[in-house]
Every structure is written in C-alpha cells, then in structure tokens.
Structure 1
Amino acid sequence: MRQIPLGYVATYGDVASLAQLPGHARLVGYALHALPEYSDVPWQRVINAQGKLSLGRAYPGGDLHQRHLLEAEGIVFDANGNIDLKRFRWQP
C-alpha cells in the first residue's frame, strides 16, 4: 500500500494480487481494519472494485473521513460518490 502514489487509488483486489494473494481482497480489508489508529500506511488509497468507499460500514463516518483525505490528494468523486478508476487507478 505504501507504493500507491499520492493522487491514485488501488482496489482491495489490486493490493491482494500485488501481495501474491489473488482472490483474497477481503484479507486486505481485514489487514487495513487491524491498522493502529495513527498508522502512516496510506489506507485511504484502497477502495472497492466499483470505485466506491467501503469504510462507512465498519466505522460510521469513516467513509467521509476517507473521502476528505482522498480529495485533499486531488482525487475527484462523481455525483454518486464514485471514483473514476480509469483515471485514478494506480497501475504499477
């Protein structure tokens, strides 16, 4: 996750594949959930495969926090709250 550049996102599945764990996107989610509160891992750059934020289910308001962090990096959301993966998805 530290390799994802500022202003780009990757999906949970992307991160799993890069970790040589294809098909284990949920495992990435569990790992992110286990991060300490003040971790310097750029967790906000990992989103779901539909270009949406998933954090709101686990932490009420967490999706808004994630959105603000991503917007501060220059990532744009559409009217439905989605990120254009063709534009902002990191391709290593």
Structure 2
Amino acid sequence: MPRTPEAQAFFYAVYAAVQEIPEGKVTTYGHIAKLIGTPQRPRQVGTALKHLPADTSLRYHHDNVPWQRVINGKGIISPRSQPDGARNQAASLQAEGVVVTTGALGELMVDFAEYGWFPRLLPSDEAAGVVPEDSDGDGESSEE
C-alpha cells in the first residue's frame, strides 16, 4: 500500500479511473495515467494495480476494481511476477467476452480496434463538465 498521502491519492485516482472502464473493453496503463492527469506515470499505474488490496472491506479492492481491463500499449497482457498471472488476466477478460489471442512468441494479445477504450475524458469527468486539455495542441487526443 502507498506510504504517503500523495501516493495514496495517486493509487485511489488510478482505482477510480479503472472502475470506469466498461466491461468487455480494455485500455492501457498510459491511457489511465493520461486520464488522471499524470501522463508521465504509466509504470506507476501498473504498480498501483499490482498493489490492489484483496481486503474487500477497503474502499478499493481486487473485486471492485477491474484491474484485468488494463494492458500495455502494444495490446499485450503484461507478464506478471506470479506464475500464470497473464493467463489469469486473459481468463478474466475472456469471461467478459474479450477475445484474447496468442502471438508468435506466446504473448497474450487483445485487439484495440475491437476492444480498446480510449476516451478523451473519464465519463465521470465528462458528466461533471470538465473540459479536456489538448495535449498536442491540435484538438486531437493521441492514443497510447
């Protein structure tokens, strides 16, 4: 768990954002980082998800934050430190109707064209009237 109030706020922002990913969709660590205003911190998004508590009495936990819906920017389910972690994530996604394929090197992959979720704003921010900032100045939001 986070050791400082700032880290805890970051973890909670990650968890709240991940809760907004619709069932049957995936996004990237980088896109979650961008949506919460820290585009330079995709690896920390992964760290927050890695440390998602199992204790269901806590506000955010393994059962109410759909961690499985976040994959890397290449559409690959990142290998986990525990055995079969990527396969468990793939199974969770498949249970939601997401097709997971196996690449030439055995990597587990999801097609962003079909299952990707890349809004410019979180639905909760959009509902609150937040105006998106154009990160590249051309009015378009780039996808990770």
Unaligned regions of 5+ residues in structure 2, if any? 1-17, 55-60, 120-144
Answering whether residue 31 of structure 2 is matched by residue 14 of structure 1, we say: yes
Matched-pair contact (CA < 8 Å) for 2:33–2:40:
yes
- Residue in structure 1 matched with residue 109 of structure 2 by the alignment: 82
Q: CA deviation at 1:91?
A: 2.4
Query: Considering only aligned residues, what root-mean-square deviation do their CA atoms show, in Å?
Result: 1.2
- Count of aligned residue pairs for this structure pair: 91
Give, as a single letter, the amino acid of the residue that structure 2 aligns with 1:32. Answer: L
Answering whether residue 74 of structure 2 is matched by residue 45 of structure 1, we say: no
Q: CA deviation at 1:17?
A: 0.2
Q: CA deviation at 1:70?
A: 0.1
Unaligned regions of 5+ residues in structure 1, if any? none
Identity %: 43
- Residue in structure 2 matched with residue 3 of structure 1 by the alignment: 20
- Residue in structure 1 matched with residue 142 of structure 2 by the alignment: none
- Residue in structure 1 matched with residue 40 of structure 2 by the alignment: 23
Larger relative contact order (Cα-Cα within 8 Å, sequence gap ≥ 6): 1
Flag the structure with larger Rg.
2
Question: Normalization by structure 1: what TM-score?
Answer: 0.91
Matched-pair contact (CA < 8 Å) for 2:31–2:118:
no
Partners of 2:80 and 2:92 lie apart in 1 by 18
Q: CA deviation at 1:25?
A: 0.4
Q: CA deviation at 1:87?
A: 1.2
Give, as a single letter, the amino acid of the residue that structure 2 aligns with 1:29. Answer: G
Partners of 1:57 and 1:31 lie apart in 2 by 14
Partners of 1:23 and 1:7 lie apart in 2 by 26
- 4+ residue segments displaced more than 3 Å: none
- Secondary structure (helix, strand or coil) at the match of 1:87 reads helix
Partners of 1:88 and 1:67 lie apart in 2 by 13
For 1:42-81, list aligned pairs within 5 A.
42-54=66-78, 56-80=79-103, 81=108
- Secondary structure (helix, strand or coil) at the match of 1:78 reads strand
